[in-house]
Amino acid sequence: MDKFYITTPIYYPSGRFHIGTAYTTVVADTVKRYKTLRGYDTYLLTGTDEHGQKIQTVAENNNITPQEHVDKMADMAKELWAKMHIQYDDFIRTTEDRHTKIVQKIFEYFLEKGDIYKGYYEGMYCVPCETYFTKTQLVDGKCPDCGREVKPMKEEAYFFNMKKYSERLLKLYETSDFITPEFRKTEMINNFIKPGLEDLCVSRTSFDWGIPVKSDPRHIVYVWLDALTNYITALGYLSDDDTLFKKYWPADLQIVGKDIARFHLIYWPIFLMALDLPLPKKILVHNWIMMKDGKMSKSKGNVVYPELLMDRYGLDATRYFLLREMPVVQDGVFSPEGFVERFNFDLCNDLGNLLNRTVSMVNKYFEGKVPTYVGKVNDVDEELEEYTRKQIKLVEEHLERFEFAQSLQELWNIVSRTNKYIDETTPWALEKEGETLKLQACMNYLIENLRKIAIMLIPYMPDTANSILKQIGITDDELKTWESMEKNDKIPETTKVIEKGEPLFMRLNVEEEIEYIKNGMKQ
Ligand code: MSP
């Protein structure tokens, strides 16, 4: 069985997670479910990035120790992922021994090799971002990332010799396609590699919430060397038991947001080269979820927490919106109007109605028993079959390329086409005219397409997929596999359609719900 190892970034546990943070995890979970469905032995890693000055400050402000703070936050993260049915296999915390010990080993190894050397760090420092900037990087004299004040700082520090690996990295960029989308690669080459890579500062003495350098404990390992290595320490790299590491490394897909692309596309491959380890097969860089008035921020009162949507509209509607509306390669905008519209149109009208109409017709005309495949009998049967086959390929191709929005769009084209098929075949007229064979074909095609739609929905909206399969009476696991979509004559004669299924989604009152979401954003 082929393996597929997926990672999310490890999240800073500084505050509650909003839909932006949840987005990366939902994407990872969707890929995990898809690859599992395709027969891979999958492994999904997520976790929390618990060290650094910012965490220390947040804890101090709350009058608790950093450890107490991160414990609480890691629990909160796990609760959220449980609520969102995220099927992660491991949750790594950078304060765990299994991580800190190995980070220390890696640091010493780099020191011995001469990849890490001691020097002085000088620059303009942004405390909340924990990042030094050169004067030219500042925007109006302020932090280019968060726009806040920066201050000049100088400290003794260890550096990683990035320059040494710069050529090798460039070669790697030229010869492999491990970066998706492609334009991120060009961005890295033009903005960072060609102008000359700066060595990376990998230790700090200005605060102590971090992993001490074994041979020089006044220093703590600075955040990116600590954070990035989670992807291998979680698998037991350099530990007494490295079975998982041997099995799953290199990662097949590492998912990161655009703000941390530089760290994952430059420093991470270089650390791996320095460790003589194979590089991840694919790093997917996604854009951001924005609001109409820019970034989400508490001060603007425009933050959307996943609970706000999930608790009222359900997990699957939330997942659907995130995956359908947020293109990976450009920023997506969240708006309450957009959410309610997608809910009513795509989920209620298109998908929900198709299921309702079909189930009630099979009940009315055939006492709930799905007629067996009788061939292409109606004028449009052939076309529907062909169209569906073609669309399934597109859904799959986009999904394989991690183009979730396009994949869902193609899937919804099948939903619309199938709804149109009802209007074209007019089953109510076929019944009146006593055209039993045509009516049988029609019902069989409808159920068959719903079965396929449900299978393709498994990675995206697992609960909805299951309830569709249940309502159309598909219990046999063999009829729920991706491969089973290839043939049309799958449904056994005796399949019983459940009599009155719960509607998948209830139509929303547009004004009321827009108001509800807007109010929730202010809290
Ligand atoms: N701790 C680092 C990652 C270390 S990985 C070795 C970090 N954490 S974070 O909590 O700030 O961000 C985690 C992820 O959430 C990043 O991939 C980031 O891009 C993503 N997002 C944060 N806000 C987002 C949106 N508004 N939209 C989409 N993704 C967003 O960075």
Give tens-digit pLDDT for 443-496. 999 999 999 999 999 999 999 999 999 999 998 899 999 999 997 777 776 667
φ, ψ of residue 180 in degrees (nearest 5)? -130, 135
Q: Whose CA is nearest to atom 24 of ligand 1?
A: 20
Mean pLDDT per 10-residue interval, the chain, length 523 residues: 97 92 96 98 98 90 95 97 98 98 98 96 84 86 91 92 95 92 94 92 91 97 96 98 98 97 97 97 96 88 94 98 90 95 98 96 93 92 97 98 97 98 98 97 96 98 96 91 86 70 92 96 83
Cα of 285 from ligand 1 centre, angstroms = 11
- Our measurement of the distance from residue 437's CA atom to the centroid of its chain's CA atoms, rounded to an integer in Å, reads 45
φ, ψ of residue 44 in degrees (nearest 5)? -115, 125
- Say what the pLDDT of residue 497 is: 72
Q: Where are the alpha helices (DSSP H) in 131-242?
A: 163-175, 182-188, 223-228, 230-233
Q: Parallel, antiparallel, or unpaired: how do β-strands 203-204 and 332-334 relate?
A: unpaired
Q: Residue 170, exposed/middle/buried by CB under 10 A (0-12, 13-18, 19+)? A: middle
- Say what the pLDDT of residue 128 is: 81
Q: Whose CA is nearest to atom 17 of ligand 1?
A: 257
Question: Please, what is the end-to-end C-alpha distance for the chain in angstroms?
Answer: 47
Q: Whose CA is nearest to atom 11 of ligand 1?
A: 12
Task: Among 16, 18, 21, 202, name the best residue to mutate to test ligand 1's pocket (greatest count of ligand atoms within 8 A of Cβ).
Answer: 21
- Say what the pLDDT of residue 249 is: 98
Question: Residue 125: which of 113, 109, 138 has the closest Cα?
Answer: 138
Task: Among 8, 10, 11, name the best residue to mutate to test ligand 1's pocket (greatest count of ligand atoms within 8 A of Cβ).
Answer: 11
Q: Whose CA is nearest to atom 5 of ligand 1?
A: 9
Residue pair 132/121 in contact by the 8 Å Cβ criterion: yes
How is residue 4 annotated by DSSP? E
Strands (E) located in 279-326? 283-286, 289-291
Q: Which atom of ligand 1 is nearest to the CA of 21?
A: 15
Cα of 133 from ligand 1 centre, angstroms = 20
CB atoms within 10 A of CB 114: 9
Question: Residue 296: which of 14, 13, 17 has the closest Cα?
Answer: 17
Cα of 21 from ligand 1 centre, angstroms = 6
- Our measurement of the distance from residue 318's CA atom to the centroid of its chain's CA atoms, rounded to an integer in Å, reads 13
- Say what the pLDDT of residue 500 is: 66
Residues 6+ apart with CB under 8 A from 498: 359, 368, 470, 471, 472, 473
pLDDT digits (tens, 9 = 90+) for 167-203: 999 999 999 899 999 999 999 999 999 999 989 999 9
Cα of 288 from ligand 1 centre, angstroms = 9
- Say what the pLDDT of residue 377 is: 94
Half-sphere exposure of 419 (CA within 13 A, CB side): 16
Number of H helices, E strands in the chain: 21, 14
Pocket of ligand 1 (CB under 6 A): 9-12, 20-21, 23-24, 49, 227-228, 230, 256-257, 259-260, 288-289, 296
Q: Whose CA is nearest to atom 8 of ligand 1?
A: 11
- Say what the pLDDT of residue 494 is: 63
Per the document, the length of the chain is: 523
Cα of 437 from ligand 1 centre, angstroms = 56
DSSP string, 192-223: IITT-PPPEE-EESS--SSPBPTT-TTSEE-H
Cα of 258 from ligand 1 centre, angstroms = 8
- Say what the pLDDT of residue 153 is: 86
Max CA separation in the chain (angstroms): 89
